[in-house]
Structure 1
Amino acid sequence: MLTLIKNVELFSPAYEGTTDILIAGNQIASIAPNIDVPSSTIVAASGMKIDGTGLIALPGLVDSLVHISGGGGEGGFHTRTPQMALTEASLHGVTTVIGALGTDATTRTLPDLIAKAKGLDIEGISAYCYTGSYHLPARTVTGSITDDILLIDCMIGIGEVAIADHRASEPTYRELAQVAAQSRTGGMLSGKAGIVYIHTGDGNSQLSVLHEVIEKTDIPPSQFYPTHINRNQSLLEAGIKWTRCGGVIDMTTSTNEQFITEGEIPAAEAIAYCINQGVPVTQLSMSSDGNASLPIFDNSAKLTGLEVGRVSSLFAEFKALVLNHNIALQDAIQIVSTTPAHFLKLSQKGKIHKGCDADIVLCEKDNLTIKHVIAKGKCLVSNGEAIVKGTFE
């Protein structure tokens, strides 16, 4: 299949000016002005030509935390959250997702998570996953964290392992270091990230156990990827301290009014604050926590409602970075695409270069409204409408 995008302003994420982009199969074949491919050739290859005049091209978003197979609810069996559908990602510019289990690793299982990732990959986007869940000892498929990462193609690390949370298993620094070492070994042997994706709760211990690991062992801070750092201002300051040690921090874009009232900082606002404090954009990212449960409690801590995290929130906060907080477009792209791709060692993602995967979002320049989304070389969204849907959508 051939796709030719003409006269588009390219952010790769650096600004590259107005150019053409030729896609062949699932990769970017050429980037140059005035690429000439006869229409008959494109038609013969079952391809398409897209007029990019007035549009910008940016790399597809990389969402490092999505509960793609659904998650456990805070109100019992009937509140388990639903699986993610393909268009929940594609319509909002997300072309790569990494799936995880959370609190529920009993009714939500790793084999089901793997199957969902493979299903999404067939339907049109790139999908990976983590072994493990909130709790240690880790749930695995093979009986070994190292073996899961080494032998299961879509598994790139372990997560989301919970710390500073009343639902966590309260891991010690030794236990967390052992998990990190096993994950690191699996990553090294397989050429994957072997990352430990960390769920950070609102407990007083914050990121202290991560500091213990890097102070008392040889595990580097780059082995950990803590998220939910925008829960409150105190945790955000702790996250900035973590970046001073060389670590990366991630903000969660799915939220609700109660969370904000209780002190959570909207993800784009938290990112803007970090940048103003001198944190490099290469150490900042955002993820949606899509399809996670967002519980609502009354003053007596009784559950009164339940909302569901949305993958769509990632692009919404990306827009807020640019349009509301005046973050440079190339920096905002870095935060939602290039940084997570680099940190997760997805070398073909997060950039628009010759030879990379053809994951491209075309937006209106002034308001960042999505017009077209191409994932793995195939157009999934055209003129804002999903032209490819999930099997049961």
Structure 2
Amino acid sequence: MSLHKVQPEELVAMAPQHSRRVADNGFFDEIDGFKEKWARRWSKLDYDGIGRVPLERVKYYMLMETEAKFYEDKEVLELLKRVDSNEDGYINYEEYMELMLHTPKDTPTRRFLRRLAFMVVPRSARDLKTRMYLEEYSCMPPPFFVILISMAEIAFFIYYAVDMGEPVVSNGPCPVYSPLTYNPYRRREAWRYLTYMFIHSGYVHLINNLLVQLILGIPLEMVHKWWRVILVYFSGVLVGALLTSVTDPHTYLVGASGGVYAIEYAFLGNLILNWKHFYYPWVHAVFLGVLTCVDVGFAIWDTYFSVDPSNTGHMAHLGGALAGLLVGVNVLRNLEREPWEKYCWWIAFIIFAVIILSTIVLSIALPIGSFYPYPDESPLQWHKQTF
């Protein structure tokens, strides 16, 4: 028995006959153009020309192949959920076209959020479970942690801008009298190792941190869920404060940069583990590489060569980056696991544990007077000191 390979123009004629109208879901300008497009794509699936395609081939093509980037995510979902209604393990052309013609309406907001989320998802991780999670996710409720933490930082900034009674400029003033600020003279108040993230010195400091954590944090939370992002973010804040405490013991610390850097470099850890599965991984790598070089270069110049050094907490940046990379490797979703990755996880976990434990021990053991300043026992807000 010889097989006749069906050509795309024949497939168009075979398609279900619907009126020439604009499709309700907005994917197509007119039905004839729609038929031709999907006929061409069907011919790639039905490469042996028998008129039906195994379901597993459809799944593999739409989730793993490079051409899958041309498919709307909603179309992929509908195929994977509703295909093979007779449960024979195959889909034929008529079923395929019917499914495409009746794909439910999508919204621009949801499409935008999915595109944003897929920035941080490797191609092989875009399976049905991940797509369903993203598809069911919308602006209501939003990725709440990143948005709530950003709103809290804005609220505290406004409160202290009013409370200080001084004009707010690009780089100050900073309410060092706040019980939230990391104050080297009040190291025993342990909450300060985390709460300093709510205080910012000037509107440029605040805006920079908000932009980065919203642009990178929202898609990261959409894909990896809120509790993973919380672990990454607060790990960066904590390690940033601990490293600053043991390397620059007289420095006040404010700002969410530790958490922001943790989000940035958690994405780097995910990129390393899933390099071959990302679309255009070099673009992500170059972006993070340039960002790192600029930040390290500025830190060296600001510390050793600037005639008017800034008050930037460079060790907090470094601590946040280290925590984000190490914690991200361990907690972010990695849906395709390689045998060698378990060694990366253990190495990252051990290094992170060593950093935490060693900085805590040093903070307790290093002498007061010769290294740390003598503690300030005066009541909080004895005077509203600002920098």
Task: Name the TM-score, length of structure 2 as normaliser.
Answer: 0.23
Structure with higher strand content:
1
Task: Name the TM-score, length of structure 1 as normaliser.
Answer: 0.22
Give the greater-gyration-radius structure (CA). Answer: 2
Instruction: Kindly indicate whether structure 1 or structure 2 has the higher relative contact order, using CA contacts under 8 Å at least 6 residues apart.
Output: 1
Structure with higher helix content:
2
